[in-house]
Structure 1
Amino acid sequence: MDDSLSLDAKLLAETNQGDNAPPLSVSEISGSLKRVVEDRFGYVRIRGEISGYKRAASGHVYLALKDDKAVLDGVMWKGNAGRLAFAPEDGIEVVVSGKLTTYPGRSKYQVVIDKMELAGEGALMQLFEKLKAKLAGEGLFDADRKRAIPFLPKTIGVVTSPTGSVIRDILHRLADRCPSHVIVWPVLVQGEGAAKQIAAAINGFSNMPEDGAAERPDLVIVARGGGSIEDLWSFNEEEVVRAVANCSIPLISAVGHETDTTLCDFAADLRAPTPTAAAEMAVPVRAEWLASLSESKARMARSVQRGLSTAQERLEAQRRLMPALTDLLRPHQQRLDELSEAMKYALGQAISSARSRFSLSDGALKPAVLRRYHDRAMERLEAVKLSPALLTKRVGEAAQRLDGLARLLNQVSPDGPLKRGYARVSSARGQFIGSREDALFAGAVNLHFHDGTVDAEIVGAAVQTSRPRVAPDNPLVTEKQASQPAAKPKRVKKPADDRQQDLF
């Protein structure tokens, strides 16, 4: 093997005497590189296009800046990211200010961003168009979302700066046209935090209750004076545009001058070219309104009068076509006269006929005639008188028939054998008992003799049977009533024989 080659390729690293390049550790070289970069590039401004924009849960922002030849990583800490005046997006060209540093953990260098700005109006318009397309795709600018502005709002809410000329112009124009109650919600209209205040004010008006302590506006005006696109950018922020689109109260956007356009104008129910024009759109001119009401009142009166005149003309024309009232009544009056005369004649005839009939019957009502009728009636009455012998004979025949019926009754009567020593047994309710079994079930019985009734109680074992305790001769007595204990009957005294012996 060649000796020179063996001297260059040594197995172990050695440090020679006087060597000015001693080996450094990775950490040492990384630290040295970090110090050099930070000392050399302690403050830089870099222009580039945002790529890979991401906001972490911690609030820090990570992104990359690129152009057509290189890419530079960047980071923006939470405090600086919260003060951004716009919402960064991929593809937007920006100018960042900060310092370069290295990240030894990955052998990378990056820019720590302290401030971020859009790279001119072109970048702003690019961001404007991207956000406009996004919100339009969600339907926030659709025409069917627009609501009609109330004709005469009682209360108007205004979101604007309390110190600018805008609010004075609005109040002055409202006072000239039609005085209304105005509630001003003061906000910043540009700069850091303006977008959050404007969105909060719109949402505040929208969320006011109908019956709250403060009167809820019928109309909201979002207003700002003119300015550059940077000055008006707060009204292009997404949170402001969404607040305008979601407001539950009809809203007029009056931001900038007539040539200025913001995304709030697309989301609002109505766009006004200036704040003063917004006040003119909000309310009518009171004098013109009163004049219009007076004119409408006069037109209505003329219309009513014209209708009355037309109706009167038509009525007069119809009246001329109709016959006179006297012509209509004359036939009826004539008929009435005829009926009146006929009634007088008929009444006289009826009276004459009645007098004739009365004269004919007047002779039959004389006292002599009545007395003669009376005498004849008495004679006929005397002729039909009955003799005592005939009456006696008829009474005797009736008495014989009655005695025969009495004897027959005694023969078939159940009390007939009682005089021969027999007794008739009945229950306490008067039901007939004809067997030992019925007597045992009855318990208490009545013994009927020819000279009276005796109460008795049956002593002995009862016969178990499913039939009623007493055979119900009376169909009105139910089984339940028959099973109840019998009440002790009152003793009834036998009535004396009061048989009629004579009819007279």
Structure 2
Amino acid sequence: MADPLFETSSARLVAEAVPGDNAAPMSVSELSGRLKRMVEGEFGHVRLRGEISGWKRAASGHAYLALKDMDAVIDGVIWRGAASALPFQPQDGLEVIATGKLTIYPGRSKYQIVIERMELAGEGALMALLEKLKAKLAGEGLFDRERKQPLPYMPNVIGVVTSPTGAVIRDILHRLEDRFPSHVLVWPVKVQGDGSAQEVARAVRGFDAIAPGGPVPRPDLVIVARGGGSVEDLWSFNEEVVVRAVAECRIPIISAVGHETDTTLCDFAADLRAPTPTAAAEIAVPVLAEVRHGIATLAHRTERCVRRYHERAGEQLAALVRVLPRRDALLGPQRQRLDDAGARLGLGLERRVTAARGQLDRAGAALRPATLEQRLATARQRLGGIALDRAADRELAALRQRFARPAEALKLASLERRFATAAERLAAMGRHLELLDPELPLKKGYAWVEGRGTGKVVASAEDARAAQAVTLHFADGSVDARVERGQAKAYVPPKPEQPTLL
């Protein structure tokens, strides 16, 4: 029998109540609400395995995606709190296992899953995510060799980013103490679990932000260390935030995460990878005993080089001494010239004395009475026969009487010598008088300074500044001048030697 609700033959233009039908019509919202309650009651919690598709994060922090397999697709949503707690960054194509509850979104009448937790579906998916992130960061150049910084040979301060309670920090400190005791700064962080990647990144950036010369010393080297573990345990060091912090750090970094076979993206971004945390400590510092031995070796080599240089210099000096001429050979000609000059000096003095005696004899002959009488007669003739003074006549008569006797001739010779000596003294005094002539320095380009209008000699720079207006006297005339500010040097003529009277 046909249902009266669906009989087409009884269709009407206006809906009317049908006899026997006691069910009122439902609204779309009512139907969606009933379906929502039914689905949520039946599927309180489910776990779905599928591939992520259409992943996007809204400005509100909520994330939207779709999970699909070979034959079906279901929409999904992750609220902001759950999305921020995801242990990895979801991407399209990743196979995951999502845990949540089914519900219906009434606005579109579509069922969806509200995801509370999401995990990768096995290590294969985890490694696929790792390879995708590695390719992305490598494409940005974060792993290029040109970005690597050289490690300091002997760092004064070493920063360590690791857990403060694990065996890793103890191994690093013990190894540093054995090899080369250094100043170590430890930045404690979580190395596994929620929020560990953010703590590691903040620690690396915190070390890089320390200013040189501050209260906390800036590390010369940073070690990011963690013990071994599974891929999930080491995943924090594969997070993009950690890799970027390590790549951007301006301090050289050694990555020592896991054991020798473990590899993380942090190892590629660091300046150097160490197989273990202990190996990182060995790489960071040299062996103190080897350093001391090297210094001692260099000191010995330096001393040996200096000694060898000294020996070679001595050999070169000895070779030069052998080719240099002897002292007697160098001084012999000069000695011979000195002897010749000494011998010629005696002969020269004798000739000079002989010549001087001849000049004296000629001068003495000019002073004889006959000569004087001849000169007197000539003078009388020139004066027109004027008679000489009686005193002169008496003196002339006395001279005639004195020189008439032979004994008096000797006295005349003595008088002639005294006359010659007095003439020489007079000539010397004339030369000294010429040196004392105040006009002589002026002829050589000097000038003497006189205060204008005062007539006083200005003898110092202070007097010149006080006078302000001066007159400069030169050999050919005088010039007026004005004194400006500043320091000037006054000319002081040399003090002439006093004449020596013989």
* Residue of structure 2 aligned with 1:253, choices 249, 252, 255: 255
Deviations 1:394-431 (A, max 9, x none): xxxxxxxxxxxxxxxxxxxxxxxxxxxxxxxxxxxxxx
Per-residue deviation, 1:307: 2.0
Which aligned pairs between 1:327-338 and structure 2 lie closer than 5 A?
327-338=329-340
The answer for the alignment partner of 2:138 in structure 1 is: 136
The answer for the alignment partner of 2:105 in structure 1 is: 103
Q: Which amino acid aligns with 1:247?
A: C
Which aligned pairs between 1:238-317 and structure 2 lie closer than 5 A?
238-317=240-319
Question: Quick check: 1:11 aligned with 2:8?
Answer: no
Question: Quick check: 1:93 aligned with 2:125?
Answer: no
* Residue of structure 2 aligned with 1:348, choices 325, 347, 350: 350
Per-residue deviation, 1:7: 6.8
Q: Which amino acid aligns with 1:97?
A: T
Question: Quick check: 1:48 aligned with 2:74?
Answer: no
Aligned mates of 1:215, 1:378 — CA distance in 2:
120
Question: Quick check: 1:201 aligned with 2:203?
Answer: yes
What percent identity do the matched residue pairs reach?
61
Q: Which amino acid aligns with 1:187?
A: V
Aligned mates of 1:232, 1:245 — CA distance in 2:
18
Aligned mates of 1:238, 1:275 — CA distance in 2:
22
| Cα distance change on mapping 1:288 and 1:366 into 2, 3 Å | farther
Per-residue deviation, 1:8: 4.2
Per-residue deviation, 1:84: 1.3
Q: Which amino acid aligns with 1:27?
A: S
Say if 1:217 and 1:249, in contact at 8 Å, map to a contact too: yes
Q: Which amino acid aligns with 1:10?
A: S
SS of corresponding position for 2:231: coil
User: Which has the higher mean CA deviation after the structures are superposed, 12-21 or 275-284?
Assistant: 12-21
Say if 1:15 and 1:22, in contact at 8 Å, map to a contact too: no
Q: Which amino acid aligns with 2:268?
A: F
SS of corresponding position for 2:129: helix
Aligned mates of 2:60, 2:196 — CA distance in 1:
23
Deviations 1:168-206 (A, max 9, x none): 111111111111111111111111111111111111111
The answer for the alignment partner of 2:232 in structure 1 is: 230
Per-residue deviation, 1:379: 5.7
Provide the aligned length of Structure 1 versus Structure 2.
Answer: 380
* Residue of structure 2 aligned with 1:148, choices 147, 150, 155: 150
Per-residue deviation, 1:100: 0.8
Aligned mates of 2:379, 2:277 — CA distance in 1:
129
The answer for the alignment partner of 2:70 in structure 1 is: 68
Q: Which amino acid aligns with 1:238?
A: E
Gap runs ≥5 in structure 2: 1-5, 387-502
Per-residue deviation, 1:244: 0.6
The answer for the alignment partner of 2:416 in structure 1 is: none
Say if 1:94 and 1:119, in contact at 8 Å, map to a contact too: yes
The answer for the alignment partner of 2:455 in structure 1 is: none
SS of corresponding position for 1:127: helix
Aligned mates of 2:200, 2:52 — CA distance in 1:
28
User: Which has the higher mean CA deviation after the structures are superposed, 89-98 or 339-348?
Assistant: 339-348
Aligned mates of 2:323, 2:201 — CA distance in 1:
77
Deviations 1:213-238 (A, max 9, x none): 21111111111111111111111111
Aligned mates of 1:317, 1:290 — CA distance in 2:
41
Deviations 1:459-491 (A, max 9, x none): xxxxxxxxxxxxxxxxxxxxxxxxxxxxxxxxx
SS of corresponding position for 1:84: coil
Aligned mates of 1:131, 1:93 — CA distance in 2:
15
TM-score (norm 1): 0.71
Aligned mates of 1:171, 1:7 — CA distance in 2:
89
| Cα distance change on mapping 1:335 and 1:112 into 2, 3 Å | same
SS of corresponding position for 2:193: coil
Aligned mates of 1:161, 1:200 — CA distance in 2:
14
Say if 1:159 and 1:184, in contact at 8 Å, map to a contact too: yes
Deviations 1:372-406 (A, max 9, x none): 6467446634679xxxxxxxxxxxxxxxxxxxxxx
The answer for the alignment partner of 1:319 in structure 2 is: 321
Aligned mates of 2:111, 2:237 — CA distance in 1:
37
Per-residue deviation, 1:83: 1.0
User: Which has the higher mean CA deviation after the structures are superposed, 211-220 or 17-26?
Assistant: 17-26
SS of corresponding position for 2:251: coil
| Cα distance change on mapping 1:152 and 1:375 into 2, 3 Å | farther
Q: Which amino acid aligns with 1:11?
A: A
| Cα distance change on mapping 1:42 and 1:378 into 2, 3 Å | farther
Per-residue deviation, 1:136: 1.0
Aligned mates of 1:20, 1:234 — CA distance in 2:
63
Q: Which amino acid aligns with 2:292?
A: L
SS of corresponding position for 2:107: helix
Per-residue deviation, 1:71: 1.4
Aligned mates of 2:266, 2:224 — CA distance in 1:
9
Per-residue deviation, 1:144: 1.0
Per-residue deviation, 1:161: 0.9
Per-residue deviation, 1:256: 1.0
TM-score (norm 2): 0.71
Deviations 1:86-131 (A, max 9, x none): 1111111111110111112112111100011111111111111111
User: Which has the higher mean CA deviation after the structures are superposed, 114-123 or 12-21?
Assistant: 12-21
Per-residue deviation, 1:348: 2.8
SS of corresponding position for 2:32: helix
Deviations 1:327-362 (A, max 9, x none): 333233323322332333333322322222222222
SS of corresponding position for 2:91: coil
Say if 1:241 and 1:264, in contact at 8 Å, map to a contact too: yes
SS of corresponding position for 1:95: strand
User: Which has the higher mean CA deviation after the structures are superposed, 315-324 or 183-192?
Assistant: 315-324
Aligned mates of 2:117, 2:369 — CA distance in 1:
151
Which aligned pairs between 1:365-376 and structure 2 lie closer than 5 A?
365-366=367-368, 369-370=371-372, 373=375, 376=378
Deviations 1:423-461 (A, max 9, x none): xxxxxxxxxxxxxxxxxxxxxxxxxxxxxxxxxxxxxxx
Say if 1:223 and 1:253, in contact at 8 Å, map to a contact too: yes
Say if 1:160 and 1:224, in contact at 8 Å, map to a contact too: yes
Per-residue deviation, 1:367: 6.9
| Cα distance change on mapping 1:66 and 1:341 into 2, 3 Å | farther
Q: Which amino acid aligns with 2:149?
A: R
Say if 1:50 and 1:65, in contact at 8 Å, map to a contact too: yes
